[in-house]
Amino acid sequence: MTGTTNYKNIINNFVGNSKAYSLDVKNRLTNLFLFNNMGVVEELMHSRTFNSGELGGNESIGGLITNLVGVPNDLFQRVNNYYTTLKTAISAETTSIQVSFNTLNPTDNEKLYIKETLNKTLEHQFEYMTNNLLLVVNSLRKSQFDLTKVVDKLNFITVNAYDGYYQNTFGGLVTTQQLTSSTTTLIQAYTGDSLSLSNFITEYVNPIFTRNYPAATLIRGIEYLFFSNQVYTNKSLSFSFDGSYEEELKKLIRFREDQLYNNLLKVDENGFKGIKVRTKRGFEPLLNDMIKTWINYDLKFFRPRITNGIETGYEILDGQLTSYTSDFNIEFGTTTGATAQNLLRNNLRERTGGVQDNKFNFKLERQLIIS
């Protein structure tokens, strides 16, 4: 049997899923930064799996061995360990906030108030952060799965010049179609669009969110992770930073809170529901110096990583990926050759059943495990 297949729909599905995936990456990472801090984004991107594989066919036809974002590895275990470490430090009064506060010779009631304030904030922030991270990871996982389903099929077609399908829903017998007319136009479209997607991920996403936040994994760094989005007071507009960040600071103030800052400086002369005025006078400049470091870090990377980074990269990609209006008609003839049938059968088996490895190719959504 002979015939003609139009591959316009599948190449447009690739374009659409590439744009949807990239937009999801841009939006999820940007919002995670805006509502949390840069350190949380860095932890998400620090160690990942299911992030490498073949895109655009293979190297023999101009395809790529490249990277997607993948799925975080050990992220929630790390966050849980940070939470436990910080909770222990609060109890021992060894956080940077408490060490600075205790230099002012506060009363026991004031110390207890600060400890309770930090513990209450930590519990809220731990739940808030883990919920946000879970939403981001699940979304990226789903959009990557949708993309790679199309990638795996197009890889097979463009590399092997075969297509086909199971003859029934239970697998087994296959109908193998050998593509008999030129696939050059399809290959050029697929490899070109794959290169655009790869450039976005490898230039504007994966390499720029390295874990460099202040005192990463140490107590001071963990305080930044859990507390820094709760200290964005309007008073910070008068702080001196390393550069000119007025617009970026105003934006972060809109997205973040000042509750912890206000609670730490709340006044109660009895020391039960706040601290004394005398203590506040000494503590406020110490607290300001501490949070300036946190705020400065996020401001320093706002433009290079977000505005001029992932947002600019997506704009470039969006301009490069456009749906095709012309047809991609390719003639085929069915073949019963054992080699061709086995090649197709193995590919269909991998696409429908998945492959147990760390690549992004041939993965069912349930195999993209959030470890």
Q: Which domain holds residue 107?
A: 2-367
pTM recorded for the entire structure: 0.96
User: For residue 228, which of 81, 37, 80, 78 has the smallest C-alpha distance?
Assistant: 37
DSSP letter for 257, please.
Answer: -
Q: Is 268 in contact with 280 (CB distance < 8 Å)? A: no
Please list, in sequence order, all residues whose beta carbon lies within 8 angstroms of the beta carbon of residue 162, skipping any fewer than 6 positions away.
156, 176, 177, 178, 179, 340, 343, 344
pLDDT in tens, 176-209: 999 999 999 999 999 999 999 999 999 999 999 9
| pLDDT tens digits, one per residue of 105-127 | 999 999 999 999 999 999 999 99
Count of domains observed in the chain: 1
pLDDT score of 217 more than 80: no
pLDDT in tens, 125-163: 999 999 999 999 999 999 999 999 999 999 999 999 999
